[in-house]
Every structure is written in structure tokens, then in C-alpha cells.
Amino acid sequence: MFAPFAQSAAGALDVIRNAGGVVLLEQSLPELEGLLLRIRASDGDAVRLAQALRQALPQATVDLHARLFLFPLAGSGGSGANVSAPRQYARNLLQMPTTPVALKREVRVGVIDSGVDRVGALAGGVAGERSFLPNEASPADGVHGTAVAALIAGQDNSMGFSGAAPGAKLYIARAMSVLPDGRSYTNAVSVLQALDWLLAEKVPIVNMSLGGKGDATLAIGIAQAIRKGMMVVAAAGNSGAWAAASFPAALPNVIAVTAVDVESKLYQQSNRGEYVMIAAPGVDVWAPARIGGANGSYVSGTSFAAAWVSGALAAAAGQAAGAVDRAKWSQALCASAKDLGSAGRDNDFGCGLLQVADFTARLR
């Protein structure tokens, strides 16, 4: 449950107890301007409790516990491969210079994901890191988070590798636990805690390469972060053409990213839908994430396309004279995209393929 500060905390707690709820977590989120509560129904009937709380606390947002999952690694080199000069096509496809341009000012990017491994490409790039895992949780390994972070801001000259915005400062929110079946997941509680921390750290761009079913508490928290100027980038999902919309990507004003290959063809496993906003490379892209002892891997998925978009936003912010303007920048992303598929915006590619040079030109 998420309650605005206008709601009396003491009064809310009384209502929860009277309705048969047991408070497992009570935390103030000052940047999101609300109180976060995790509640268990004493009789095991969570649906009944949620309905009772919605009626008794109309100002609060109440929803059932829902999981958000990391989109798993896939690709021709998904098991890892030692490569001295990896094949890289993303920068060219995105209309970015082969050699990254140095940032003119500090740029901060948040990554809500697993942790990250200290690979060479991220040396000096992680400015802040915090765990938002419940005490009883088993943390997910850092492979997925490392790949995402490296594509955003990594650089390894020995391999000729560079992400979208080398030099950007990464703030890593470790929010992913692992299930017995090996899947990595999080929930709205951890994500809202992470968003509050990132707002406090003055992070304007946040990448979320994860997704799941809709959650009202997550929606209200992300809306508040966006209202405060944060640009939220999320992977559109890897569940295929007929899958339900993936959240948080499908939330209003979130930049939902789909994936294309070296020929600008759509990644076959990409979700489709009206919420898809922009496309970026996400099929067989090289990432220096250690898999099976190797020095990196070619990975596929909308997770990695989202990372390129977050990094491109960071690169633009590093050259811009003013602060990140969410509304203006989102409009410029679409207006500058290279149209793919059906003419105009469509459910497969959104506005089209991100074109960084044209995008940054529109910000001047």
C-alpha cells in the first residue's frame, strides 16, 4: 500500500489493524511524498483485506503483491565467449560516432536491476550502489545488471568496446532476488524504495530492464517520479507478439523500448502494443558480462535495447546546456526516430529506430 503524506499514518495503521491486517513494513518515502506499507492478511484472505482498505482509505493506493521479472539473457553467445575484438554494430545503427564524445558535465543514470560485477568496462563508473532486497531474499547474480550497465556507460579500450555514454555515473539499485527455479524477480516495494533513493541522489534517467503484471502502487510511484522530472526507460518485454502488455513499460510517460537486429528487423520475441515507443539494438549485441568464466557475451532482448536508449539519453545530457526536460526530450526521441515497419507510429517499432545525432540536434 502507498499512502500520500496527507493521509494520517497513525489513522491508516489503526484502519489496517481493524481490518485484520498485519504490517510487515512501514517506511516513509520522502522523495515520493508518501508512506509505503507492506501488509499481510491475518486470515490469509488478501483480496478481502485489499478491498476493505480501499474502501476505508480512499486516498491510499492498495494492490496485491505482484512480481516483476528480469528478462532473461538470450543470444548466439548467451553461454559466454572469450573474444578479443567483439563484433559491434549498435553505435553505427544508432547514428552515434564510432568513438564516444567526452561528456561535458556529470550525468547520473540509475539502474534498477541485479547488482553489477566489477568488470573492467565499469571501472570507476559506479558512483553509488544500494540493496533493496528483503532480508530473507537470495540475491540474483550480477550478469544481467552488468550487461545493462556496461551498455549504458561502460568502456574497455583493450577490447574496443564502448557503451552509449562512457563516463556517466551509474547508481545501481540492487532489487532482484532469485527463485528456486532460477528466475530473478522483484516487486513494487523494492522498486519504490529504489526510486525514492534515486530521486534523493538527483538521478534524472533511470533504466528498468524488467517487467510483469500491472501494480497500482508501482504505477503511482513511477508517476510521481516522472512528475518530478525523472525519465524512466523500460524494456517492452520478451514474451512475443500476443503477450499482454509488460509493466512498468506500459505505464503512461514511460519510454518503452523494443529491440531490433543489425538489419533493423524486429526481435522475434519482442512484445507488441500501443505502449511501445522506440526501438534500439537488442539482438546479438556484445556486452562484457562474465558468463561461464568468459569475458563477455552476445546477448539479445529488449533489456539491452532499453540500455542503449538510457545511455543515449545520458550522452545527450552530457552535451546539453540545460537540465533534462522529460517532456521535450521524449517528444524529440519520437520526432527524430527512423520510421520502421508501417508508416508512422506502430505497435511493433513504436516511433521507429532511435537516431542519436538527429535526437541531440533537436535539443539544441
| Residues designated as active site | 113, 144, 303
3-state secondary structure of 293: coil
- Sequence letter at residue 125: G
CA atoms within a 13 Å half-sphere pointing along the CA-CB vector of 247: 21
Q: Kindly calculate the radius of gyration of the chain based on its CA atoms and give it in whole angstroms.
A: 20
Angle at 172 between CA 167 and CA 174, to 5 degrees: 160
Omega before residue 166 within 30° of 0, cis: no
C-alpha 185, offset from chain centre = 13
**In this structure, what C-alpha cell is assigned to residue 183?**
528466475
**Spatial distance between the Cα atoms of 256 and 361, rounded to a whole number of angstroms:** 22
The distance of Cα 186 from the centroid of its chain, to the nearest Å, equals 12
Task: Read off the C-alpha cell for 207.
Answer: 533504466
Q: Let me know: does 263 contact 230? Beta carbons within 8 Å.
A: no
Q: Which of 66, 69, 68, 4 is nearest to 37 (CA)?
A: 4
Length of the chain: 364
Contacts for 263 with CB less than 8 Å, ≥ 6 apart:
none
- Hey, is 205 helix, strand or coil? strand
